[in-house]
Structure 1
Amino acid sequence: MKLAAVGSNCIDYYNNVEGGTAYPGGGPVNMAVYTVRNGGQASYIGPVGDDVYGQIMAEAMTRKGVDTSHLHVLHGHTAVSQVTLVDGERVFGDYDEGVLEQYTLSSEDMDFISTHDVVVCDLWGKVGRFFGQLQQRGVKTAFDCATRPGDAACAEAIPYTDYLFFSSDDGDTETLRELMKVLHRQGPKLVIAMLGEQGSLCFDGQTFHSFGIVPCPNVVDTMGAGDSYIAGFLHGLVDGLPIEACMEKGAATSTETLQYFGAWL
């Protein structure tokens, strides 16, 4: 498994933990770290600012074994998300995207991404519009819609996405299944709904596959749980596992992440 994680990164600033604590994160960055944790290879392609937080982000990814050869340091500040922890659940506050605001992929970035098995981005990553070109180069594409599959950034990427992920708190309902069918008709090979404590659901165009959770002995912080699932699921796909086994691998990766503060240690 060789993952190209592209686009958004941010410092998750926990304002009610130890008087204020900053953790490196952001969906694609998290997925890169979890991929390495699962024994794969991963690169991060995207921008940080030339500030202290940018340095923290770069050094932390390097320590985790993520290839940062295409991490771009731009003049300005690194993205920051304000987070409040309430009974183990993170509540997001203000988000300042900093140097991500005008981010785009260069031709050199595109060439580098094309050397990977899968490229993953999320709805804040600014680069979903490049997915068509990446598919033409033979790279499998994965996109995380978070809780907003109807967002304009998602609509731009979905027709060129092989593996589409989104999160829902509503559980496995007929309404959810109809939405997954609609999304599948737009282009993805697989549509995966992450349902928190209720597990996950995957639609392959013919069959719905469901999987529960891998029990967690001590939930400390849910930050990064969905990103963990995506990393584990994609790793399973590249390894040739059946869909249910990919879902289990995603759930197991998520359970590991639930047991500490921040997206990753």
Structure 2
Amino acid sequence: MAEGLKTNLLIGIGHPLLDMTAKVEKSFLLEYNLKENDAVIMSENHKNLQNTLLERYQVAYTVGGSIQNTLRIVQWITELPNVTTFFGSVGNDQNAKILHEQALLDGVNVRYKYINGEPTGTCIVLVTGENRSLCTNPGSSKYFDFAHLLKNENQFLLDTAKYYYMGGFFLNVSLETVREVSKLAAKDDRQFLFNLSAPFICYQHKDVLLELLPYVDVIFGNKSEIEALSSCCQMEVNTIDEIIVLLSNWKKINSSRSRLVVVTQSEEPVLVGINNRVLTFPVPTLKDKIVDTNGAGDAFVGGFLSQFIQDQPIETCIKCGIWAASQIIQQIGCTYTGKASFQI
């Protein structure tokens, strides 16, 4: 354990979900108008999806929710309990108990808001070869509000953390929470870390993202998400490198540090934009070991943040992110076995 680590260093706010993972054929995706390597919110088109999945395929249940998964990976690597604190809302049901118990075992300080009469959210993960398609039923997770953070026992945690991590999916839950937390970070010289989450988020929340971007210290996204952000914001650029440089130099409220833009590209190199430069980090090939790519992005960010919150060099943060993702894709869901073996 590094000397710089302490409890409640990093707060994550997001959707606590129970993942339901199954290997399916591409034809099954077509039945429900789903695409590979995409993420959607469950709608009327998907109302029979869960029942059909359970009838036709073997389903594995694992702890899910992008932000919560990332914090679990941070805990796995740092090994100090309660380095991270997670806020989100769940139902008063068995699925919530499963999520709570597993998160505690993983070392995350869980501060759920319990919603009566609404089920804990679920995420159906459809695996086709090396690809995955996500269909989420947010359930109770969409009822979180900023007032939960203002309770005395939670306000203290909010006021003492140094890093805040949120994602684009949460813009559909509590815009007030995203705004207030990002402003708090800028005002008190803490860091606000934001994951774009999915391409459709960029189109759905164009104006909000333009408002939020000046408060963001680190942006995470895959190539499709970064390109979607560029497109919906009408950035006059032609290449991914140009997009990254433009985003890293975008107006920033807290000018005491440069903005980082971290872009993953599946098996292609990770790109990092900072100070008018784009750094490239190769990703080792593991095709013969891939079991499930769902959770790879969450694990990458978790590995990255486990070093970032310890003020390690960007190269070390990226190296750990790539290592963490390489471990997770060899498991079903965002799960791991044994102690983390990453070494600087």
**Same-fold call, TM cutoff 0.5:** yes
SS in structure 1 of the partner of residue 275 of structure 2:
coil
**Where in structure 2 are the equivalents of 1:1-265 lying within 5 Å?**
1=5, 2-16=9-23, 19-39=58-78, 40=80, 41-68=83-110, 70-75=111-116, 76-93=118-135, 95-105=136-146, 106-108=149-151, 109-125=154-170, 126=174, 127-130=177-180, 131-148=182-199, 150-151=202-203, 152=205, 154-168=209-223, 175-184=239-248, 185-187=250-252, 189-216=259-286, 218-265=289-336
Deviates more, 1:21-30 or 1:214-223: 214-223
Q: CA deviation at 1:171?
A: 11
CA distance in 2, matches of 1:144, 1:192: 9
Stretches of structure 2 that go unaligned for 5 or more consecutive residues are 25-56, 228-236, 253-257, 337-344
Q: Are the counterparts in 2 of residues 181 and 203 from structure 1 also a CA contact under 8 Å?
A: yes
Q: CA deviation at 1:215?
A: 4.1
Q: Normalising by the residue count of structure 2, what TM-score does the alignment of the two structures yield?
A: 0.70
Q: CA deviation at 1:156?
A: 4.4
Q: 2:150 corresponds to which letter in structure 1?
A: S
Q: 1:9 corresponds to which letter in structure 2?
A: P
Deviates more, 1:142-151 or 1:13-22: 13-22
SS in structure 2 of the partner of residue 221 of structure 1:
coil
Q: 1:167 to 1:53 in 2, by over 3 A?
A: same
Q: CA deviation at 1:178?
A: 2.2
Q: Normalising by the residue count of structure 1, what TM-score does the alignment of the two structures yield?
A: 0.89
Deviations 1:194-243 (A, max 9, x none): 11100211111321111011443611111111111112222222222222
Q: Are the counterparts in 2 of residues 110 and 134 from structure 1 also a CA contact under 8 Å?
A: no
For the aligned residue pairs, the C-alpha RMSD in angstroms reads: 2.5
Deviates more, 1:235-244 or 1:160-169: 235-244
Q: Are the counterparts in 1 of residues 217 and 259 from structure 2 also a CA contact under 8 Å?
A: yes
SS in structure 2 of the partner of residue 202 of structure 1:
strand
The match for 2:29 is none
Deviates more, 1:187-196 or 1:31-40: 187-196
Stretches of structure 1 that go unaligned for 5 or more consecutive residues are none
Q: 1:190 corresponds to which letter in structure 2?
A: L
Q: 1:171 to 1:136 in 2, by over 3 A?
A: closer
Q: CA deviation at 1:257?
A: 0.9
Q: Are the counterparts in 2 of residues 199 and 251 from structure 1 also a CA contact under 8 Å?
A: no
CA distance in 1, matches of 2:226, 2:108: 34
Q: Are the counterparts in 2 of residues 8 and 121 from structure 1 also a CA contact under 8 Å?
A: no
CA distance in 1, matches of 2:291, 2:71: 22
Q: Are the counterparts in 2 of residues 236 and 249 from structure 1 also a CA contact under 8 Å?
A: yes
CA distance in 2, matches of 1:133, 1:169: 30
CA distance in 2, matches of 1:99, 1:27: 16
CA distance in 1, matches of 2:332, 2:93: 23
CA distance in 2, matches of 1:259, 1:194: 18
CA distance in 2, matches of 1:171, 1:97: 24
Query: Greater helix percent: which structure?
Result: 2
Aligned pairs, how many? 263
CA distance in 2, matches of 1:155, 1:22: 37
Query: Greater strand percent: which structure?
Result: 1
Deviates more, 1:39-48 or 1:54-63: 39-48
CA distance in 1, matches of 2:86, 2:223: 27
Q: CA deviation at 1:5?
A: 1.4
